[in-house]
Amino acid sequence: MSASHRVVIAVFPCVDLLDVTGPAEVFAIANRELSGGTPYEVLLAGPDGGQVRTSAGVRLATDLTFEEVGDRVGTLVVPGALDSAGVPVVDPDLVGWIAETARHARRVASVCVGAHLLAAAGLLAGRTATTHWATADRLAADHPDVVVDPDPIYVRSGRVWTGAGISACMDLALALVAEDHGERVALAVARQLVMYLKRPGGQSQFSVPLWHAPAQRRDIDELRAWICANPAEDLSAAALAERMCLSERHFSRVFRKETGATPAAFVEAARVEAARRLLEGTDEPLDRVATAAGLGSAETLHRAFRRRLGTTPASYRRRFRTAA
């Protein structure tokens, strides 16, 4: 493929399997959908050649070693890996190779916790980036020069792209295809993959209960779970403080200390999450969705969606509805 767009995917011991195969499949199907333009040549590069054992136990055969990659790289894709303690793998030799190879690449993309490797290679300094929500705090703590946004499916900052948790690798790869060949080809690939949705980068990668880490106080954790399960109840700070048998001021202070959010912000996020589920899974009109989610009116629902998700409830439903 002399006129191909070379995609080099780094593979190394315990790499997440889907981080590698997901983007590779997207690029392969894109080649079948192209009626013109530059096709992709996908190559797996490993430290020593031969086979690499992934986190799933499946072995991948590499096409070339890291040393053989050279300077003809269209897109460098950096997947991630976690060690037995759930900590992102950041191997110094791999980081050095990424930093050197990225100098020659037209663009660089990380998948999931691969963002930790890009950050260690200095490629995210001064940029906004995302990663799997569970390691976002670690990425921000380890690299204060990176603006870590744990919410989006993917983030583009110049020629550097970062993707969220594992399955979001497909969304990231589709976005790369769209940049290269346009939305029509990307949507055709999504249909072939039976991905009914081509999610925008700003789409949230997690739900409210997933993102908020456990609090030190069990009663606060129990309250958050109750809020998420009962979005239509009276969830004012006064009502929640009474439920906790605390003064409103003390409750608000404790809640923010334990969760990093005000009671009002958490309640709105939980209600938007409830509304999202209703919009995805039912055909209920917007006013009923708003009532069931505790947002009161379609107008309040609209404002909350604009503020939290950057879209309207109607647009969200058109894009993400799964009900027949």
Among 192, 216, 232, which residue terminates a domain?
192
Which residues, at least 6 apart from 95, have a Cβ–Cβ distance to it below 8 Å? 117, 120, 121
Which residues, at least 6 apart from 272, have a Cβ–Cβ distance to it below 8 Å? 208, 293, 295, 304, 305, 308, 309
Query: Residue 312: inside a domain, yes or no?
Result: yes
Question: Considering the chain, what percentage of its residues have pLDDT values greater than 70?
Answer: 91
Which pLDDT score, from 0 to 100, does residue 205 have? 61
* Whole-number Å distance between alpha carbons of 161 and 149: 13
> What does DSSP assign to residue 204?
B
* Whole-number Å distance between alpha carbons of 34 and 9: 21
Among 143, 165, 192, which residue terminates a domain?
192
pLDDT digits (tens, 9 = 90+) for 30-85: 999 998 889 999 999 999 989 999 999 999 999 999 999 999 999 999 999 999 99
Count of domains forming the chain: 2
For residue 41, what are the domain limits?
Answer: 5-192
CATH code of the domain covering residue 304 = 1.10.10.60
> What does DSSP assign to residue 165?
S
CATH code of the domain covering residue 29 = 3.40.50.880
In sequence order, the β-bridge partners of residue 293 are: none
31 and 107 together in one domain: yes
* Whole-number Å distance between alpha carbons of 290 and 141: 38
List the catalytic residues.
112
279 and 165 together in one domain: no
Q: What average pLDDT does this structure show over 178-205?
A: 77
* Whole-number Å distance between alpha carbons of 148 and 165: 14
178 and 212 together in one domain: no
Query: Residue 14: inside a domain, yes or no?
Result: yes
CA distance from start to end of the chain: 43
Question: pTM for the whole thing?
Answer: 0.69
149 and 272 together in one domain: no
133 and 257 together in one domain: no
Query: Residue 203: inside a domain, yes or no?
Result: no
